[in-house]
Amino acid sequence: MHEQKLFIGQPIEQGGLSNENQLAQLCPMRFKVVNAWSHYVVTFFHRNGSTHNWKWKTKDHTIREHQQLCLELLLNSQRVKGETKRAVAGWMLSQMLSEVPACVYV
């Protein structure tokens, strides 16, 4: 559907992604309610989780780094707030990883 737009945004000067507002509008409804992906985003990123157990869909390191950068830029954005940020970040993770990881903290 709109997954091809998830990782095309560029970093913007104020922080965040150039297409984050568009992603918020395109985000599928299933990510706008509490689900395993959005729950993982909250627990992982607010508690300094580790990525060592992530099962990536791609083996290409360049793609992984780019996807992770887009996710980090979104999470650090001041323009996207709360539930919307969690929903879009969960959507991104669902396209990056083959399964919801167990939370491992560092």
pLDDT of residue 104: 55
Distance CA 81, CA 20 (A): 11
Distance CA 65, CA 71 (A): 10
Tokens for 85? 């940020």
- What's the alpha-carbon Rg for the chain, to the nearest Å? 13
DSSP state of 47: T
Per-10-residue mean pLDDT of the chain, 106 residues long, equals 81 91 94 91 75 91 94 91 93 95 65
pLDDT of residue 51: 81
pLDDT of residue 5: 84
Structure-token match 């560092």, residue found:
106
